[in-house]
Amino acid sequence: MSDVERDVRDFISTNFILDGEVLAVDDSLTSHGVLDSMGVLELIMFIEERYSMKVPDEDTLPENLDSVERIVRYVQQRLDAPDG
């Protein structure tokens, strides 16, 4: 498990009530009731603070944020980018 994935999983388990459920990396966070309109704001704030980056509105898409795997990929891409 990468450091980013560990961070993301820690954030989710600390901030949302999962009732013992373990999320697979590709589980949809919206379908599992983790990401609603408030959860998205919290997730974005977590990413921005933890990785010192701005998440622009145009990046707030399900393909970037709607599973652990997608979040990890998005964050890693941003960190690896020359201006990241």
Binding site for another protein (CB under 8 A): 30, 33, 35-38, 40-42, 44-45, 57-58, 60-62, 65
45 vs 79 by CB, closer to another protein: 45
Q: How far is the CB of 52 from another protein (least distance, A)?
A: 15
Crossing angle (nearest 10°) for helices 3-15 and 37-51:
140
Q: How far is the CB of 35 from another protein (least distance, A)?
A: 8
Candidates 58, 62, 57, 14; CA nearest to 36 is: 62
The neighbour count for residue 29, using CB atoms within 10 Å, is 22
